[in-house]
Amino acid sequence: MEIVIMPTPLEVDSTAADIVEGYVRRGATTLGLATGSSPIGTYRELARRHRVSGLDFSQAQAFLLDEYLGLPKSHSQSYYSVIRAEFVDHVNLDPERVFSPDGEAAIPDAEVERYDRSIAEAGGVDVQLLGIGTDGHIGFNEPGSALSSRTRVKTLTEQTRIDNARFFERPDDVPHHVLTQGLGTISDARHLVMIATGEGKADAIAAAVEGPLTAFCPASILQWHRHVTVVIDEAAAGRLK
């Protein structure tokens, strides 16, 4: 595992963008995209490189980590819409080649299997961007998630629904369930890039990188993966030994 500690969040963004750019420059590549605040600066930096120096995403495709169950793709808060607004619409990545679990699937259990199959049929993810929750979650894999889990339906905790209510008109509008790639699915990506900034993430980063490999810290799966880059600022690195 490579741990890159940068002085500022802006330098974290450009370091993570350098990694993604390396894959995009190869031509055909499959990106794994996370939502949440952690990768937003990286997405902005990649969009800037597209604008200023023509970084070409036309041969790339992408898979999302997770999606709300019950929201149509077109809903402004579906993760598909969020990733379009924050990234895809600012580069020349074909929206038709950006895939997410179908939040409106009639049979969610069949949809999660289809999603895992579609990632495998696409040849797998080359580089997966990840954020980390303060409790060590990745995707919607909360503490206690099986380390080998595949894409599946998860029930949101009341705390997560409260946390996410700010994005919806009414708190009751927050869906109760999500479809999320499992820890096993995420581990299948060939390169995992975790992005974290700020003191609030310092304990989670220390547990993920230096703590025991345990389902109680889902991000500790980074330790058994062959190719991981953790890109963090000094504040997020503050509890590393």
Give the footprint of ligand F6R on residues 158-187 (CB under 6 A). Answer: none
Residue 137 sits in the site that holds ligand F6R (CB under 6 A):
yes
Q: Does 230 bind ligand F6R (CB under 6 A)?
A: no
> The tokens of 169 are what?
């008109």
Q: How far is the C-alpha of 75 from the C-alpha of 78, rounded, in Å?
A: 5
Minimum distance of ligand F6R from residue 82's CB (angstroms): 9
CB contact set of 210 (below 8 Å; sequence gap of 6+): 240, 241
Question: In 122-227, which ranges are continuous DSSP H helix?
Answer: 158-164, 183-187, 202-210
Largest CA distance in the chain: 48
Give the residue with the Cβ less far from ligand F6R, 59 or 239: 239
User: Which residue number, 56 or 211, has a Cβ lying nearer to ligand F6R?
Assistant: 211
CA distance 86 to 103: 19
3 state SS for 58-100: CCEEEEECEEECCCCCCCCCCHHHHHHHHCHHHCCCCHHHEEC
- Cβ proximity to ligand F6R, 91 vs 186, nearer residue: 186
Q: Does 198 bind ligand F6R (CB under 6 A)?
A: no
Q: Which is nearer to ligand F6R, 36 or 211 (CB)?
A: 36
Give dist(CA 122, CA 61) in Å, integer.
9
Separation CA 29–CA 71 (nearest Å):
28
**Rounded CA gap, 193 and 20, in Å?**
9
Which is nearest to 189 in space by CA: 19, 49, 14? Answer: 19
Count of residues binding ligand F6R (CB under 6 A)?
13
The answer to the question of residue 116 lying near ligand F6R (CB under 6 A) is no
Write the binding mask 55 to 94 for ligand F6R: x where contact by CB under 6 A, - elsewhere: ----------xx----------------------------
Confirm or reject binding of residue 35 to ligand F6R (CB under 6 A): yes
Residue 31 in contact with ligand F6R, rule: CB under 6 A: no
Task: Among 36, 70, 124, 211, indicate the residue that binds ligand F6R (CB under 6 A).
Answer: 36
Active site residues: 66, 135, 137, 142
Q: Is 149 near ligand F6R (CB under 6 A)?
A: no
Q: Which is nearer to ligand F6R, 13 or 66 (CB)?
A: 66
Residues that bind ligand F6R (CB under 6 A): 34-38, 65-66, 131-133, 137-139
